[in-house]
C-alpha cells in the first residue's frame, strides 16, 4: 500500500471501479465532491461543535454517555479506549442518533440551535450513506437495494469528536485514538482541519500509512461487520489517530453506519461461508461493551461474555501489535 486512494464521487462508473480496488485491498479511500451542496451547513455545524465542547465539564456531564445499549451522549477525556488493553484515548466526544431513537434529555439545552442542525446533519449523512451503499451493491454485484434495505431502520450513530490541547502526562501507549477497527458496516468521516493525524495499518509492509487531508472530503472505511458480511472480500483495516499538534483543538465527525438490529449477517458472496450467522445487534453490543470505562462497566463485562458465544473461535475484534515503524 503506497498511498490511500482519492476518488471523485461525481463519476459513478469510475467511482465503482475504484471502490472495488480500494476496498478489496486497503479498506479505505478519500472521496471528493460528495457533499458540495451542503458545505455551508457543515461550516455552521463546526461552529456549534466548538460551542458544545467549550461548555464546562460539569455541564457536558449532564449529558453523560447512556451506555452501550443506546450509545448516545457525552464521553469525556480518556473514558473511551479504542484498544481495550491500552490507556483511555485523549479525546472527548458526543454521540447522537436519528430522531426516532434519540432521547430528548440528551440534547444540550444550553445551545438552542444544536438540536435542529444536528438532526439536519444526521439526515444528510444518512442520505449520503445510502448513496455509498448503493455503489457497494454494484461493487459486490448484489441486487439493487439489497444493502440499502438492510440499513433503512437508521441503526446508525453520529459522533462529534474534540481533540483538546493537551500538555499533561501521556501514558505509555496512549494516543488520541488508539489502534482499532470499526464495528459496523461502513464509516463516513468528516475532518475539519488540515492535520493528517489519521493512519491506517499496512499489514503487508508492516507500516502505518497516513491518510491525506483533502479539503471538503469524506474518508470512508469498511468496518468489521461488512468484512464479515462479504466473507472477507472487503477489508476492515486497523487505524489510529496519532498525537500530532497537541497544542491546539482539532475536530472530526464520524458517522457509523450499521444495519438494522435484527438483520442477520450472513455471507453475501458465493464462496464457502467463513463465519456463522450473527445478528447485527448482538455483534455490535459485544464490541461496544469492550470500549468504555464507565460506571456500567460491570454490565459491559456481562454483555461482552454474552456476545462471545456468537463469534467464531478465530475471531479477532481489534487488538493488534503496534508495528515498529510508520511513513
Domain spans in the chain, listed from the N-terminal domain onward: 6-326
Is residue 211 within 8 A of residue 22, CB to CB? The reply is no
Residue 83: pLDDT band with limits 50, 70, 90: confident
| Single pTM value for the model | 0.87
Per-residue pLDDT reduced to its tens digit, 244-263 = 888 889 999 999 999 988 89
> Which residue do the cell numbers 472505511 mark?
221
Residue 290 is predicted with a pLDDT of 61
Q: Does the structure show a pLDDT above 80 at 314?
A: no
Per-residue pLDDT reduced to its tens digit, 113-168 = 999 999 999 999 999 999 999 999 999 999 999 999 999 986 799 999 999 999 88
Of 241, 152, 259, residue with least CA distance to 198: 241
| CB-based contacts of 61, cutoff 8 Å, min separation 6 | 74, 76
How far apart, in whole angstroms, are the C-alpha atoms of residue 217 and residue 5? 12
Q: Does the structure show a pLDDT above 90 at 37?
A: yes
* Listed range (224-233, 266-275, 316-325) with the worst mean pLDDT: 316-325
Residue 287 is predicted with a pLDDT of 72
How far apart, in whole angstroms, are the C-alpha atoms of residue 34 and residue 223? 20
Residue 323 is predicted with a pLDDT of 40
Cα distance between the two ends of the chain:
11
Residue 203 is predicted with a pLDDT of 86
| CB-based contacts of 326, cutoff 8 Å, min separation 6 | 199, 207, 208, 209, 210
**What's the CATH number for 6-326?**
2.60.120.330
Of 166, 115, 126, residue with least CA distance to 35: 126
Residue 187 is predicted with a pLDDT of 97
Per-residue pLDDT reduced to its tens digit, 4-33 = 999 999 999 999 999 999 999 999 999 999
Q: Does the structure show a pLDDT above 50 at 74?
A: yes
Is residue 101 within 8 A of residue 154, CB to CB? The reply is yes
Residue 79 is predicted with a pLDDT of 85
How far apart, in whole angstroms, are the C-alpha atoms of residue 222 and residue 31? 14
Amino acid at each position: 500500500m503506497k498511498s490511500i486512494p482519492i476518488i471523485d464521487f461525481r463519476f459513478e462508473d469510475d467511482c465503482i471501479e475504484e471502490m472495488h480496488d480500494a476496498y478489496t485491498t486497503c479498506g479505505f479511500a478519500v472521496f471528493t465532491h460528495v457533499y458540495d451542496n451542503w458545505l455551508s451547513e457543515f461550516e455552521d455545524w463546526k461552529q456549534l461543535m466548538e460551542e458544545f465542547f467549550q461548555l464546562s465539564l460539569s455541564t457536558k456531564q449532564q449529558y453523560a454517555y447512556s451506555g452501550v445499549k443506546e450509545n448516545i451522549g457525552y464521553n469525556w477525556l480518556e473514558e473511551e479506549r479504542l484498544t481495550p488493553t491500552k490507556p483511555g484515548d485523549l479525546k472527548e466526544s458526543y454521540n447522537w442518533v436519528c430522531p426516532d431513537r434519540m432521547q430528548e434529555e440528551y440534547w444540550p439545552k444550553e445551545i438552542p440551535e444544536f438540536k435542529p442542525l444536528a438532526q439536519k446533519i444526521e439526515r444528510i449523512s444518512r442520505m449520503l450513506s445510502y448513496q455509498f451503499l448503493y455503489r457497494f451493491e454494484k461493487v459486490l454485484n448484489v441486487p439493487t437495494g439489497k444493502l440499502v434495505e438492510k440499513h433503512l431502520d437508521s441503526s446508525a450513530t453520529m459522533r462529534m469528536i474534540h481533540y483538546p490541547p493537551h500538555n499533561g502526562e501521556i501514558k505509555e501507549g496512549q494516543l488520541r485514538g488508539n489502534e482499532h477497527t470499526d464495528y459496523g458496516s461502513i464509516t463516513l468521516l468528516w475532518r475539519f482541519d488540515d492535520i493528517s493525524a489519521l493512519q491506517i495499518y499496512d499489514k503487508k509492509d508492516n507500516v502505518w500509512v497516513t491518510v491525506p487531508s483533502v479539503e471538503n472530503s469524506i474518508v470512508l472505511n469498511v468496518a468489521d461487520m461488512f468484512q464479515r458480511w462479504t466473507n472477507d472480500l472487503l477489508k476492515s483495516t486497523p487505524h489510529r489517530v496519532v498525537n500530532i499538534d497537541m497544542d491546539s483543538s482539532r475536530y472530526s465527525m464520524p458517522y457509523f453506519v450499521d444495519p438494522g438490529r435484527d438483520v442477520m449477517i450472513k455471507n453475501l458472496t458465493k464462496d464457502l461461508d467463513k463465519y456463522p450467522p450473527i445478528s447485527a445487534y448482538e455483534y455490535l453490543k459485544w464490541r461496544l461493551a469492550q470500549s468504555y470505562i464507565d460506571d456500567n462497566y460491570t454490565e459491559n463485562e456481562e454483555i461482552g461474555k454474552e456476545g462471545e458465544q456468537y463469534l467464531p473461535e478465530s475471531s479477532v475484534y481489534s487488538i493488534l501489535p503496534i508495528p515498529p515503524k510508520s511513513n
